[in-house]
A and B are shown apart, each in its own frame.
Chain A
Amino acid sequence: MRILLRARESRWLAPAAVLIAVAITLLITAGPIRLAGANPVAAYERYLVTPLSTLNGVTEVLLASTPLIFTGLAVAIAFRVGYYNIGAEGQFLAGAIAATVPGLYLPDLPAALALPLALGAGFIGGAVWAFLPAWLKRHAKIDEVVTTLLLNPVALLLVQGLLNGPWRNSASGFPDSDTYGPGYTLPPVTDGSRVHWGLIIALILVAGTWIVMSFTPLGLRLRAAGQAPAAAQFSGIPVARLQWRCALISGGIAGMGGASQVLGVQHQLTAGISNGYGYTGIVVATLGALTAGGVLLVALLLGTIAVGAQNASISLQLPTQMGAIVSSTLLLAVVSLMALRRYRVVFGRRRPSGGPSLDETVATASEPDAAAKVGVR
């Protein structure tokens, strides 16, 4: 049995791989759903169909997707230039903290000033939290994966410390901050719904990222820096500087997500504000193929599953963790099949003579010109 590189990737292969991955995910997760005493088909219906079948459900999905669009976009922008920012969780929390500062200390500002101030503070808070790892990466070549990761628990401890100390609720004494001034509320998109303007901001960021990545010279340089850093460096693209800037922008967007969450949903800082959105952002970015449109679609899909998991825990007594199992299994299945689609498995022995046929040269992942060697058409 040998694994061969495909000489040419057919167009239908990527969508087919995703569909097969979805099928595999459904098959694998049916086991635990059965163990929990629920009917898998009914569970999948709760996860994927029920949330989208009512208007109320759709708004809940949009609400649940909003923070995931922010964190997914943040991770995608960084990954795209080859900067592995695993710290969106901490940056999200730092943004929520930063947005809380004006919310508590300048409570009387009118909304026209308060919201830009708080959102800007959120961006800066996230960027500040991303600063140290990016600086260490640029000036001391220290792996950003480790440093961004280690700052996540520190951010959570900072939130807890503030809520147990100076920001403890003055009325109830619980470890939640006081409610912000009235100007610090992102208004609902439509009257009476819980979907707030954070969604619109997220969509604007998605559109902006798409335009920059697809249609500008900067986007071309960014993609080159991520895909082939050595070649990009050689052709005069300042890879380290681009990574540095994208790292800070990535942190800033994640931080703005945290600000949007406190301003749009909670109107106060709580310790459970993030709910793992930063880590789920890695799933969103990866499944979305690090593209803006992909991030939007996957964030909506995972938002649907999250709302569905809540429904299923009520109606089917299925623990909500099943939603996380479904989404992480989906992640692993998709990346596996996407990796597999570049190769094909051939059984039997290598042809004894005549050399390799046109598309049967054995694959090498480390050799970028393997496809060229076999004469890609």
Chain B
Amino acid sequence: MDFPLFAVLAAMFTIATPLVWAALGAVINERAGILNLGIEGTMYAGAFCGFFAAATSGSVWFGLAAAVIAGALAGALMGLLTVTLGVNQHVAGIGTTLLLVAACNFANRLLFSSGSQTITAKFDRLFAGGGMLSQYPLTYVAFLLLAPALWWVLRSSGFGLRLRAVGENPEAADAAGIPVARTRYAALIIGGAMMAIGGSFLTLSLLGTFTIDIVSGRGWICIALVIFARWKVWPAVAGALLFAVTDALQLQLAISPLFSGVPNELLIAFPYLVVIAALAIWGRGIRYPGAYLKPYRRA
């Protein structure tokens, strides 16, 4: 068999793009001490709102802006629940996901009840025909701009230091004059916007249309990636690429005659199993952010 290495690598970067956006958004959340299980719903809202705004206005940029706003609002909702009210973060996140998915499906039924969805204008690949280099704009932004910038911000900037401080030891951060609640809200809003951009990549770049269950568990994958990456930027990117390459391989294997006997479902399940195996191998004894899952009230 002629192994299509470059096709797999090109597909790897494309598949990894929404995961990188959303997983890095989750890194920001969790470094500030909030586990955001609303990620699946936030991505779904980004995908739907992005599609809807682009379809009605005819501009993909409006779509992207709508996704950012939707994600920021979803982050603010998580902030209201977990920061202000101190609700259990697992329950708040699952509830947010259930609500956002149901609300988007409801809106989809109302707005596009005819069933056939209009294909919107979508972002095109740059360098068409350039092989591996021919990717969507958000892919370049994710790998060349977002990841290095976030790495620097978390490591060296004042905001990054404050973020880590409220996630590790909110009492000490508070004593040092860092506004804990405001910093966590900022983390949730920025992270939520990034998750929604990741979701909108599916509609505005990849498919150009919205389908039910379009996110199909990518948010949950990101939750696992972030733990696997121990809340660091570059390992999260690497984890997204690992997942993506197994997914891209799966797509190749599915069309290869060599694997025609293997059920397609087994190949689709493969990346999930790889992430669990990776967690089992490298995930033991990891140290969580100090304030993970704990609401903070000033003493």
Contacts and interface: CB of A to CB of B under 8 A. Distances in A.
Given A158-B265, A164-B263, A335 B95 contact: yes
B279 interface: yes
Interface stretch (B84-92, B135-143, B156-164, B251-259): B84-92
A324 B102 contact: yes
A228 interface: no
Nearest to A363: B297
Contact of A335 (B87, B101, B265, B266): B87
A366 interface: yes
A31 B221 CA distance: 33
B294 interface: yes
B4 interface: no
The prevalent SS among residues of A at the interface is: helix
Contact of B299 (A3, A132, A149, A364): A364
Contacts of B103: 32, 321, 325
A335 B283 contact: no
B16 interface: no
A35 B265 contact: no
A191 to B, nearest CB: 37
Given A140-B283, A154-B269, A340-B85, A332 B92 contact: yes
A121 B9 CA distance: 43
The prevalent SS among residues of B at the interface is: helix
Contact of B37 (A145, A328, A332): A145
A3 B88 CA distance: 18
Given A132-B276, A164-B265, A328-B98, A145 B85 contact: no
A297 interface: no
Contacts of B179: none
B284 A364 contact: no
B110 A149 contact: no
Contact of B81 (A32, A132, A165, A332): A332
Contacts of B280: 136, 140, 142
A286 interface: yes
Interface in B258-299: 263-266, 268-269, 272-273, 275-276, 279-280, 283-286, 294-299
Contact of B265 (A3, A140, A161, A321): A161
A3 B297 contact: yes
B42 interface: no
Contact of A286 (B91, B285, B286): B91
Interface string B54-93: 0000000000000000000000000011000111101110
A143 interface: yes
A319 B109 CA distance: 7
Contacts of B285: 140-141
B298 A150 contact: no
The size class of the interface chain B forms with chain A is 35 or more
A147 interface: yes
Nearest to B275: A150
A160 B269 CA distance: 11
A195 B112 CA distance: 36
Interface in A324-367: 324-325, 327-329, 331-332, 335-336, 339-340, 362-367
Contacts of B80: 336
A319 B110 contact: yes
Contacts of B279: 136, 142, 146-147
Given A141-B285, A161-B266, A331-B95, A153 B86 contact: no
A377 B286 CA distance: 42
Contacts of A36: 106, 110
Interface string A279-297: 1001100100000000000
Interface residues of A, number: 52
Interface string B222-248: 011001000000000000000000000
Nearest to B291: A366
B99 A367 contact: no
B94 interface: yes
A149 B91 contact: no
Contact of A321 (B106, B216, B217, B221): B106
Given A150-B276, A157-B268, A364 B297 contact: yes
B123 interface: no
B151 interface: no
A21 to B, nearest CB: 12
A86 interface: yes
A149 B87 contact: no
Given A140-B285, A335-B91, A339-B85, A366 B221 contact: no
B99 A328 contact: yes
A151 interface: yes
Nearest to A326: B102
B134 interface: no
Contacts of B95: 283, 286, 328, 331-332, 335
B80 to A, nearest CB: 8
Interface string A152-191: 1110011011001100000000000000000000000000
A328 B110 contact: no
A321 B109 contact: yes
Contacts of A365: 86, 294-297
A325 B87 contact: no
Contacts of B227: 143, 146
Interface string B206-220: 000000000011001
A145 B223 contact: yes
8 contacts: A86-B37, A140-B283, A145-B37, A146-B227, A150-B275, A157-B268, A321-B105, A362-B299
Interface of B: 35, 37, 80-81, 85-88, 90-92, 94-96, 98-99, 101-103, 105-106, 109-110, 171, 216-217, 220-221, 223-224, 227, 263-266, 268-269, 272-273, 275-276, 279-280, 283-286, 294-299
By Cβ-Cβ distance, the 8 closest A-B pairs, closest first, are A161-B265, A324-B102, A140-B284, A328-B99, A328-B98, A321-B106, A319-B109, A157-B265
